[in-house]
Amino acid sequence: MDPDADHNTPSYWELAKLKFALGLPEHQNDAEMKNKLLAGIVEGDMAPYYISVCTDLGWNMDLALLDKMLAVNKERQAKFDAESDGDSVSDEDDYTSKWQEKLDYYCSLGDKENAQKLATTKSQDKSLSIQSRLYAVFGLFRISYFHGCDIFGMKKAIEKATELIEGGPISGGAGDWSSRNKLKAYEGLYSLAIREYDKSARLLLEAVPTYESYELASFEDIVKYALLACMISLPRHELQNNLSKHGEMAQALKLKCPDHCEYFSSLYECRYADFFVSLALIEKMMRVDPLLHPHYRQYVRDMRLRAYDQLLQAYRTFGLQRMGETFGVTTEFIENEVGRFAADGRLLCKIDRVAKVVITKFYVNDEKSRDNQVFYSPQAVHDREVLYQKIIKHGDHLLNRMKKLARVIDF
């Protein structure tokens, strides 16, 4: 049975997130999370995963419960073995559906060893169709993703899937399109996990309108991941086109992801205090997400930088106290953080600590003339006023040179 047949994402994905969260210091003693994780394990008779959870989180193992779940697993395993026997399999399609169902069952148990072994064998079996081998390869990606976000395993799966898709035609145009469409979602998540935000944004935006990889993540989660990638990588005008005017994304954000929708709209509408509140919620969500946890500090820091730059590019000077009020934080916080970004060369401005202002436009004496070069904030080159000033300045230089040339010719 294909796990995405009814557009429902398997419930065991939530258990991986709960396990990860319980490994963080602030949630180690969270009784509600523990009960949810244990209830999910018992409901799915996930004996292999129960062993992993008890080992990794230091739980006392209930041997009676473990034996009960193992008995259910062995009974189901025996049924799979009987159904996959050569005499009981009528044709190749029937055989393929049996091992795919078995692979899905191993994944649902959190049985990494058996799932990985079966998926690896089938992915390398050249007697199988390309689509069947891709099913196994995508399974390998999910196994690596589920069990601790193994980046190396995810990378190998993406490379293998790309090789199979690009290496030869897949029988049936629909299958070819479907496989490529799935690869966008899988590779989009992988790109997000390695901080290739531009690539992740492009792939996930392309995957959203025709999303069908429900065995990997819910549509709601894919929309959230797409938004996070877009917010940190796309220019302001592209944010509007892809998040506000993009039909599927805009609708999903408004109906299913109100916090993420506010995160986007508060920055786009320059409601910076509200944006910082939304960013704090995003940080909290990213911290307990196994895919995003390694990057949450860097992501939040860079998004604050983006907000500062967006505000400052419209001003030549901006008071530190007023800036703190604008963002809903203290003057000291703004002074320290903006100063750090400026010192690192990431925010093109300087702080006058005596006047308590941020100077966002100043002259740099690179060629012994204060008129030769002007510093602007990174995106200010797109500002109409700045473009106008640059045209006037360059026009003056051109006219002066033409006058000098005219005098030489007249002489």
Lowest mean pLDDT among 39-48, 151-160, 164-173: 164-173
Q: What is the pLDDT of residue 43?
A: 96
User: d(Cα 200, Cα 197) in Å, to the nearest integer?
Assistant: 5
Amino acid letter, residue 231: M
Residue 377 has pLDDT above 50, yes or no: no
> Model confidence at 375, in pLDDT bands (50, 70, 90)?
very low
Evaluate whether 390 touches 372 at the Cβ level (below 8 Å): no
Say how many C-beta atoms besides its own lie within 10 A of residue 341's C-beta. Answer: 19
Top mean pLDDT of 2-16, 303-317, 392-406 is at 303-317
Backbone angles phi, psi at 255, to 5 degrees: -90, -35
pLDDT band at 169, cuts 50/70/90?
Answer: low
CB 190 within 8 A of CB 155: yes
Q: Which residue has the higher pLDDT, 276 or 170?
A: 276
The model's confidence at residue 85, banded by pLDDT at 50, 70 and 90, is low
Q: Which residue has the higher pLDDT, 277 or 249?
A: 277
pLDDT band for position 47 (cuts 50, 70, 90): very high
pLDDT of residue 240: 86
Predicted local distance difference test score (pLDDT) of residue 407 = 78
User: How far apart are alpha carbons 348 and 137 in whole angstroms?
Assistant: 46
Mean pLDDT of 191-205: 96
Banded pLDDT at 8 (limits 50, 70, 90): confident
Q: Tell me which architecture the domain covering 176-311 has in CATH.
A: Alpha Horseshoe (1.25)
Is the Cβ–Cβ distance between 151 and 106 less than 8 Å?
no
Q: Which residues pair with 359 in a beta bridge?
A: 317, 350
For tokens 């009676």, the residue is: 64
From residue 21, alpha-carbon distances to 11, 218, 245, 291, 292 in Å are 16, 19, 35, 12, 12
pLDDT tens for 252-273 read 888 889 999 999 999 999 999 9
Domain boundaries, the chain: 176-311, 312-410
Q: Per-residue pLDDT for 333 more than 80?
A: yes
Say which residue the tokens 């709601």 belong to. 220
Whole-number pLDDT of residue 2: 42
Q: Answer whether CATH 1.10.10.10 is correct for domain 312-410.
A: yes
pLDDT confidence bin for 173, thresholds 50/70/90: very low
Q: What is the mean pLDDT of residues 148-159?
A: 96
C-alpha–C-alpha distance, residues 399 and 411, integer Å:
18
Integer Cα distance of 351 and 339 in angstroms: 7
Most confident of 352-356, 370-374, 390-394: 352-356
Q: What is the pLDDT of residue 89?
A: 55
pLDDT at 241 over 80: yes
Lowest mean pLDDT among 98-102, 103-107, 280-284, 403-407: 403-407
